[in-house]
Structure 1
Amino acid sequence: MSCHDAHHDHHHDHDHLPPPDTNEAQTLYSKINLDQVVVLNECDPGSGAAIIRKYSERLATEPYLESDVDPELLITIPFTGLVRLHSLLIRSFADARAPREIRIFKNRDDLDFTNVADLKEVQKLEHPAETGVGTSQDDGIVEYALNRAQLSNVTSITLHIPSNYGAETSAMTYIGLRGDFKELNRAPVVTMYEAAANPADHRNILKDAEQLHRTAD
C-alpha cells in the first residue's frame, strides 16, 4: 500500500442504537451497483467495493479496505432501484484501526471531504473497537438498526468515517446492507401534444384553393 501525508478535520459525537430485527433474507448485495461504488481516500483502488461482499463471504479478511493518508473514509454505495434500509453490518479489525463513528447520508452524489463535515447526517452510529477480526465474539460483525422512516426511497447511501481509535489509518473487512427493494419504473414517458394551427399552413391552404378555383374557371 502506498500512502501519502494529508490532514482532515474531524467532528463527532455518539449515539447508542437498539438491536436490529432484520434477517439474512433481506440482504441487498445483489441490488448494489458495485461498478459505481465510490470510495475516497482508499489506499488500494477497488478495495472499498470489494468488502461489500455476499453474506456467505462476510468472514473473509482479504481484500480489506484501508484508508490512505489518514483515518477518514467516504464510501458511496448506489443501488439499482429504490431501497428502504433496515440495517447496516460492519466488520472491522479489533484494534485502533476500527472506525470510531459512522455517519450516514442518503441520495447524495456531491459529497467529498470539503463539505461532508459541515452537513447534517441522516443517522450517526458508534462502532466499538473491541469487536471484529481477531476476537472470539461471534463472527465479529456488528449490525446496526437503521431509521427506516428516514432511510426510505434510497437510491444511494454514503458512509462517512471521520475518525478511528488512534491509528494512522482506518480499516474494515465487510460492509453489508439489509432492507426492502423496489425496482425503478423505467418505462418511457409518452407525452401527447395538441396540434397547434400553423398560420403558414393556413395561407398555403388558401393559396391552393384559389389556384384550384382559377383552374376550374
Structure 2
Amino acid sequence: MAALGHCGEDCAHKHEDPEKGVLYSLYTKIIIDNLECLNESVEGAGKTVFKPWIERLDTERFVESDVDEELLFNIPFSGHIKLKGIIVIGDDSESHPSKMRLFKNRDALTFDDVAIEADQEFDLQKDIHGNVEYFTKIAKFQNVHHLGIHFPSNFGDEKTRIYYIGLKGEFAVAPKQEVVICNYELRPNISDHKNPLSDDNNHPLM
C-alpha cells in the first residue's frame, strides 16, 4: 500500500490549508474536451469531478459507474506534468472506490488494456472531505502527458460513485517538435538517373 497522509474526518472543517487550492490545480492543465471516462452512467459526467479545490465538496456533480463497479479515466494534458499526489472524494457508503491504479503515458486505455501491471497502485480509504492524500513515486511520474486512472473496485456496492479527483504536481509546456526540412529534387540530375537501356559507353540500346 502506498504512503498517504490524513487527518480524521471530524477535523475537515476546522482548518483549511490555503496552499492546497494552488497545489491541487493540475485540473486546469487537462484537455477537458478529450478527457474520457469509460463505464460512466451519464455521458460526460467523468469530466465534472476534475474541478477547483474549493468545489471539492460539491455533491451535485459526480460520476457513477454503469454496468458494474469499474471506472476508467483517460486524462490528456496540454503539456507535461510531474504528478506528486492524488485526492479522491467519494460517498460515505460502499460505493466509494477501494482501489486505484495509475498508468503513465498510455493513450486510449480500455478495460482490456488495464490487465497489464499498473505503474502504481493504491488501497483507498473512504474519504468524504478530501483529507487523504495518496503520494506517487515522483521519479516514475515525471514527463506525464497522459494519465490513466483505473478504479477496479469499491467497498461492496454494485456501482462506484466519485465526487472529486484532485491532482497535485508541477506543469511544464511540452517542448516544440523540431521541424524537419526536406530538400526535394526540383530538377533531376541526369548523372543520377542512368538510363537502364544504355550500355556502359552511354549509347542508347536500340
Length-normalised TM-score, structure 1: 0.75
> What aligned pairs does 1:8-27 form with structure 2 within 5 A after superposition?
15-19=1-5, 23-26=20-23, 27=25
Match of residue 52, structure 2, among 54, 59, 62:
54
SS in 2 for 1:112: coil
> What aligned pairs does 1:73-152 form with structure 2 within 5 A after superposition?
73-117=71-115, 119-129=116-126, 131-132=127-128, 139-152=129-142
- Residue in 2 that maps onto 1:210: none
Task: Note the C-alpha offset of 1:197.
Answer: 8.2
Moved more, 150-159 or 186-195: 186-195
Identity of aligned residues (%): 34
Task: Note the C-alpha offset of 1:185.
Answer: 2.6
Q: Which runs of 5+ in 2 are unaligned?
A: 7-18, 194-206
Asked if 2 retains the 8 angstrom alpha-carbon contact of 1:90 and 1:141, the reply is no
SS in 1 for 2:102: strand
Say whether 1:165 aligns with 2:155: yes
- Tell me which structure has the larger Cα radius of gyration: 1
Asked if 2 retains the 8 angstrom alpha-carbon contact of 1:33 and 1:79, the reply is yes
> What aligned pairs does 1:57-76 form with structure 2 within 5 A after superposition?
57-76=55-74
Asked if 1 retains the 8 angstrom alpha-carbon contact of 2:37 and 2:74, the reply is yes
Task: Note the C-alpha offset of 1:202.
Answer: 9.3
- What letter corresponds to residue 3 of structure 2 in structure 1? L
Q: Could you say if the C-alpha distance between residues 140 and 88 of structure 1 is closer, same or farther in structure 2, counting changes exceeding 3 Å?
A: closer
Asked if 1 retains the 8 angstrom alpha-carbon contact of 2:30 and 2:78, the reply is yes
Q: Could you say if the C-alpha distance between residues 196 and 182 of structure 1 is closer, same or farther in structure 2, counting changes exceeding 3 Å?
A: same
- Residue in 2 that maps onto 1:29: 27
Q: Which runs of 5+ in 1 are unaligned?
A: 1-14, 133-138, 204-217
| 1:181-205 superposed Cα distances (whole Å, 9 cap, x missing partner) | 11013365142649798323999xx
Asked if 1 retains the 8 angstrom alpha-carbon contact of 2:74 and 2:108, the reply is no
Asked if 1 retains the 8 angstrom alpha-carbon contact of 2:2 and 2:135, the reply is no
| 1:134-175 superposed Cα distances (whole Å, 9 cap, x missing partner) | xxxxx3442211111100110011111111111000001001
Asked if 1 retains the 8 angstrom alpha-carbon contact of 2:87 and 2:130, the reply is no
Aligned residues: 180
Asked if 1 retains the 8 angstrom alpha-carbon contact of 2:80 and 2:174, the reply is yes
Length-normalised TM-score, structure 2: 0.79
- Residue in 1 that maps onto 2:197: none
SS in 2 for 1:49: helix
| 1:26-51 superposed Cα distances (whole Å, 9 cap, x missing partner) | 32121111111100000011110011
How far apart, CA to CA, are the structure 1 residues paired with 2:104 and 2:60? 28
- Residue in 1 that maps onto 2:202: none
Name segments (4+ residues, structure 1) moved above 6 Å.
194-197
